[in-house]
Homo-oligomer: A and B are copies of this chain.
Amino acid sequence: MNNISLKQLRYFCALAEHGHFGRAAEVSGISQPALSVQIKELEIELGIALFERSSRHVCLTAFGEQVTVRVNEILRAVDDLYDLARASRDRLTGRFKIGIIPTIAPYLLPTVLRYLSEEYSELDIHVRETLSSKLINELNDRTLDCAILALPIGETSFTEFPLFTESMVLVRPVTSEIPITSPEQLLDQKLLLLEEGHCFREQALTFCKVGTTRPRDGLDGSSLSTLVQMVGAGLGVTFIPEMAVPVEVGSARVCLNRFRPPEPGRVVGMIWRKSNPLASQFERVAEIVRRAAEYLRHQHRSQYDGLGI
């Protein structure tokens, strides 16, 4: 019930090369008898002689010659594994699946992808955009490697890496003259929100000190873009995250207001499974994402000016 071993194959190559048991053994760092035995074992295992021994020379049989070619390929392939490992150890390679929530994706993703592919040229990046809860499931399923979403998640199996803090901005019709005195008051001005499931919805409601359970009046939008357009049409007011402002507020006839500190907002971060062996690599990835976000924020900071509430 024995089997060919790589050791035997390496010994075989040494002997094929040197044509001399003693020398091949020396090169292989073992004694001559050890080599003799292993070669013999290999021949027994294959059931056919690899070498022709005579007192003066040791040389390959025709079969041995055929084997040499193949064995060299095998050993090269094995050595390639080491190379592959070395390459993978230092830098992320292969497929990399990143999840991101819809209230961040459109604004952050273009820059992040640019930054990432600059840093990891060989990385095959796949993006999945969906709600936090699904991202978390997919992370647990190993369908995703990491996800960018609002912290905290509160699962002990994940590492949470905070990227940046993002303020909420109030979006009102340009015609609106009503002064705002308190967050709660906004509810009376028809607060438009994202559909159930979006964490940003919950964050907005929390800010307004309203429980999630309270029934809404059915004006939920499926995207921030839709919400802003609705506000522009005078249907109500809404919040959007700071980062969405440059993209969503352009054509719409709305005005923006920042809040007085402490501004309402959320922590956006990256998470991954603690058990993922690439965990250490992910910190580098997260850092790149952070820088991408910082760059974006810097770009846009000047483009609008809000009034404190």
Contacts and interface: CB of A to CB of B under 8 A. Distances in A.
Given A6-B5, A52-B142, A46 B81 contact: yes
Interface of A: 3-7, 46-49, 52-54, 57, 59, 61-63, 65-67, 70-71, 73-74, 77-78, 80-82, 84-86, 88-89, 92-96, 142, 145, 157, 273, 275-278
A7 B5 contact: yes
Nearest to A56: B140
Contact of A84 (B66, B73, B74, B96): B66
6 contacts: A3-B6, A46-B81, A52-B275, A62-B94, A63-B85, A74-B74
A94 B66 CA distance: 8
A57 B142 contact: yes
A277 B142 contact: no
Nearest to A86: B47
Minimum-distance CB pairs A-B, first 6: A49-B277, A46-B85, A62-B94, A63-B88, A54-B275, A48-B89
Nearest to A49: B277
A80 B59 CA distance: 22
A89 to B, nearest CB: 5
Contacts of A86: 47
A70 B82 CA distance: 11
